[in-house]
Amino acid sequence: MDHLWTPWRYRFLQEPQPNGGCIFCDKPAEQRDAENFILHRAQHNFVILNLYPYTTGHLMIVPFRHVATLEEAGIEVRAEMIELAAQAEQLLRAAYRPEGLNIGLNLGKCAGAGIAAHLHLHVLPRWTGDANFMSVIGETRVIPEDLADTYAKLHQGWA
Ligand SMILES: [Zn+2]
C-alpha cells in the first residue's frame, strides 16, 4: 500500500459513478452486502467499511435516506446513528483493542466531507502514534489488515 489518507479529508471512492448516482444510496440498494462491505442494516441506517481506511476498522454509519445534514435526518435517524456508534465502539474495542476512537461528522465539502450530499458518521479506532507513523518513516502508510478480514470480524459481531 502506498496511500496517503487523512481521516477527515479522504475520498470514499475515486472511481466515477457511472450514473452520476450516490454511492451511499447505490451500495445498499444492490443487495450485495458482503461484496460492498456493508456490515449491518438497522432500521434507518446501515454500517459500511470505509474502502480507504485511515486505520484498520474504520467504518461509517449512514442513513438509508439521502440527506446531507443532521437537521434533515430527523430525530429517529439521528438517535439510531448514535446507538449504532455505541455498538461500533463496543465491537471495535473487542476486535482491535484500540487505545481510543474518533467518531465524527464532516458536514459540507469545506469541512472535509468526501461525499457531502449524503450524511455519514465516521467511527475509527486509534492507537498512540498511528497518525505520525507515516511522517516518521516516510512515504508509506501500512494498513495492516485486509478489508475482507475486517469485514469478517465485525460482521460476526453484529450478527
Ligand atoms: Zn445518497
121 bridge partner residues: 61, 105
Model confidence at 53, in pLDDT bands (50, 70, 90)? Answer: confident
pLDDT of residue 7: 43
Please give all residues whose CB falls under 5 A of ion ligand 1, grouped by chain where several chains appear.
22, 24-25, 66, 118
C-alpha cell at 94: 473487542
Q: For helices 147-158 and 75-96, what crossing angle results, to 10°?
A: 110
CA of 28 to the centre of ligand 1 (A): 10
CA of 90 to the centre of ligand 1 (A): 27
Average pLDDT over residues 39-48: 98
pLDDT of residue 18: 52
Q: What are phi and psi of 138, to 5 degrees?
A: 115, -130
CA of 89 to the centre of ligand 1 (A): 25
159 vs 156, residue with greater confidence? 156
- With b meaning 16 or more CB within 10 Å and e meaning fewer, what string describes 121-150? bbbbbbeeebeeebeeeeeebebeeebeeb
- Write the pLDDT tens digit of every residue in 70-116: 999 999 999 999 999 999 999 999 999 999 999 999 998 888 888 88
- Give the active site residue among 40, 44, 58, 120: 120
Tell me the percentage of the chain whose pLDDT exceeds 90: 60
CA of 110 to the centre of ligand 1 (A): 19
102 vs 53, residue with greater confidence? 102
Average pLDDT over residues 119-140: 72
pLDDT of residue 127: 87
CA of 24 to the centre of ligand 1 (A): 5
Inter-CA distances, 59 with 76, 87, 90, 91, 102, Å: 21, 12, 13, 11, 11
Give catalytic status of residue 3 as yes or no.
no
